Structure 1
Amino acid sequence: MANGYRPEIIQRAFVDFIGSRLHPFWSLTTPKLRLIARYTLSDDLIALRFETNKAFKQQVSEVKNGWQGGQYLDLRVCIDGVYYQRSYSIVGFAHQPLWWLDDTTESHTADQRHTVTIAIKPQGLVSDYLTKQMPLASVVDTSLPLGQFTLEQTSILRHEISDSKQPSPLLFIAGGSGITPMLGLITQALSNGHQVTLLHYSRTVSSKLQHQWQQLNDTNPDFIYHLIHTEDPTTYLAGKKYLSAESLLSLNLPLADTQIFACGSPALLTGLYKAAAEITCSTNKQLRDNIVVENFGNALANVDISSNQTFNKTIPVEEHTVYLRSRQRQFSSDTTILVAAENANVRLAYGCRQGICQLCRCNKVSGVVKNIQTGKVSGDGYESIQTCINIAMTDLVLDV
């Protein structure tokens, strides 16, 4: 027989089927995680550590450096016979010790290369189940690490700074549970020699989390943190309860050369873009060009961040009709398409509801939509859109 194609005598899918019947953790092709420990990071933030199966290890090893700080996993969880998919931030990055866990917790897993840890804020059906009810040793299906909210975003800026070849200063701004992707980003940034400043806005005070940031500050002179409790004026920056231009300027950072990572509610990101518009850089570049964002929630931001409009104008959202061509149904929309559909008792596919996981993506046949994260206005023809982060600017026809 000539060299070339060699059919598999035993198909991998068949091996997976038999293996899953012997043990749910075994698979040659499907990444799976097995829960081995839970840790409390703060009063409202729980870390879950999982052992990874062979398929996860092999497929991650094919990616340079495994995964990056700031990435996330899509977990597929079965609760009462119904499967749910949710996205959760990875804590730390591949092959890096978890600095916020003490020696006793580290001893639970001798080989960290074969584990992955995520952070969860209990605030919903799936999150509550994972943090409070799912038994240890339970197995869940998972994606490989996903997301572009990583330090690789700083590569362009690093080459623009100066001839000093020093890593660029980094500013991390988080609101509430938006701190979760920052945990891995900060760890990786410090190991790469960046000067790191953290602003964390929160309605609650966590002495445990504050202690952990202070420990990191004590051991890393390049790390500075500010925890702003929105109900405690003594913690405000420049006397401002929320993020403002004065808050940013009070940090005494070279803002024109600082890469800014922000994760939080639309209100936080709105404040950041507004503050950036009010700050004049010494160079010709605009401060907003240094901002990389990841957001959560479904509320519309109260400013338009598109390049052709001013920052202080509200987004005009009029009511339009959305037609679902395949189902022969329609509903009115004056918010995101996904929320409008749910308000009309129309079920559409969704996952993270943050514009990350892509599960809500569908094809638009005609009409114009606007992305609430970027401010980008679409064309009026056929294209793929995400219903969780787009609003209807005209009547729409969706191929759903």
Structure 2
Amino acid sequence: MHAIEKQKSPMQSLAESVLDAHTANFWLQKINPLWSVSQPLGKIIEIQSAATDTVSLKIKVNRHFLMGKAGQHHPVIVEIAGRRYERTYSLTQLDQYHVLLTVKRIAQGVVSQWLCNTAKVGDVLHFGQPYGDMTVTPEQQPALILLAAGSGITPMYSLLKALDYSNKISTQTITLMYWVKQHADAAFANYFESLAQQHANFKVHIFHTQEAPCDARLNKNHIDFIKDLSNSTVYACGPSGFVNTAEQLFTSAKNFKSEAFSLTPIISDEGGFINVTLTKSNKTIAIPKGQSILVGLEQQNIQPQHGCRMGICNKCSCNKVQGATKNLVNGVENTEPRNSLRICVNSAQTDLIIDI
């Protein structure tokens, strides 16, 4: 993380003394879009294509922005057609005042579509506090295995940039295994290949699953790429199905850390709906089986508090009074009452009562 001197300017001190924070921010940003009493803000200063349907936005941040550790995620808040949207992305620190936000365009993704197609140099984004534990610690094992699928490469890129910057990449054995559909989908490929040329202990394997000759998806044969798995720390990031497979395959690793950025619906022979009772709003609604509770509620025009939609930030957590749920990332079922429930990564398996 970086530490920036946070002394108030005379103008900000005057603004705070005579105006409320909201009004002060309004007038401060008329002078400079990054000035704020307390808001973490960033201005887009450069946009580049990183891969097919993927862009990298170079962002200058203000003094309120808290730089996360490499591998963590930040809430990113944008305003589109008068409505504020929050999504979570892994940022890469470039220097004390700049970060890189890499975004893959999603077909139905309102925010990703805006960031890839509409955002322009000069636009200002709002940020939340960083979170996530998929970081490299000082006591980390010397051998690292990085597994990424699709846009799951962004936290891995952040980790490698940090290790490269601190010169630790030359002292660790690192294997990066990265799955994409086609060659053009591989973001940062040139950087990874350059690292492999500079450091004999860094190995990169990029697999293309939909381009002839097609490479296999993650399976037990890929363990052969690892020399000493029992003394390695494994990081995995990608869709929930990919992360779940990685967790099952790499059970003998010394440490395993993972994050899933999208959920794989549960395939069930039983169709139909589940009744969910919301105690605080005194409603009972029916949502489809096999999808996250959050999505089911949103489809019924109920908007619970949420953040990352990946089960990391815990903003959507609520008390489960009664009922059975299944975690969409790892398949674990929970039938115990009075448990904390992250509705973004759990589906209802029976009628459910939750404190929302």
TM-score, normalisation: structure 2? 0.82
Q: Which amino acid aligns with 2:121?
A: L
* Partner residue, 1:80: 81
User: Is 1:223 matched with 2:178?
Assistant: no
| CA deviations over 1:231-288 (Å, ceiling 9, x no partner) | 346574xxxx111111112x14201011110011122123323333xxxxxxxxx516
> Could you list the runs of 5+ residues in structure 2 that have no partner in the other structure?
1-12
Distance 1:290 1:11, change over 3 A: same
What does residue range 50-69 of structure 1 map to in structure 2 within 5 Å? 50-56=59-65, 60=66, 66-69=67-70
Q: Which amino acid aligns with 2:52?
A: D
Secondary structure class of the residue paired with 1:296: strand
* Partner residue, 2:157: 183
Distance 1:234 1:210, change over 3 A: farther
Q: Which amino acid aligns with 1:220?
A: H
* Partner residue, 1:138: 123
- 1:297 and 1:141 map into 2 onto residues whose CA distance is 23
Which of 197, 220, 244 aligns to 1:270? It is 244
Q: Which amino acid aligns with 1:150?
A: T
User: Is 1:296 matched with 2:305?
Assistant: no
Distance 1:127 1:392, change over 3 A: same
User: Is 1:334 matched with 2:289?
Assistant: yes
What does residue range 26-175 of structure 1 map to in structure 2 within 5 Å? 26-56=35-65, 60=66, 66-91=67-92, 93=93, 112-123=95-106, 124-152=109-137, 155=139, 158=141, 168-175=142-149
Secondary structure class of the residue paired with 1:364: strand
- 2:302 and 2:187 map into 1 onto residues whose CA distance is 43
User: Is 1:382 matched with 2:324?
Assistant: no
Which of 350, 353, 356 aligns to 1:394? It is 350
- 2:18 and 2:63 map into 1 onto residues whose CA distance is 14
Residues 201-210 or 124-133, more deviating: 201-210
Percent identity, aligned pairs only, is 26
> Could you list the runs of 5+ residues in structure 1 that have no partner in the other structure?
1-7, 61-65, 99-111, 159-167, 277-285, 303-313
TM-score, normalisation: structure 1? 0.74
Q: Which amino acid aligns with 1:80?
A: A
Distance 1:20 1:211, change over 3 A: same
User: Does the Cα contact within 8 Å between 1:27 and 1:54 map onto a contact in 2?
Assistant: no
Which of 27, 31, 53 aligns to 1:21? It is 27
Between Structure 1 and Structure 2, the one with more strand by share is 2
User: Does the Cα contact within 8 Å between 1:317 and 1:393 map onto a contact in 2?
Assistant: no
The CA deviation at 1:209 is 3.7
* Partner residue, 2:177: 199
Larger Rg: 1
Secondary structure class of the residue paired with 1:287: coil
Secondary structure class of the residue paired with 1:148: coil
* Superposed CA RMSD: 3.0
User: Does the Cα contact within 8 Å between 2:240 and 2:328 map onto a contact in 1?
Assistant: no
- 1:367 and 1:12 map into 2 onto residues whose CA distance is 52
The CA deviation at 1:333 is 4.1
- 2:293 and 2:218 map into 1 onto residues whose CA distance is 29
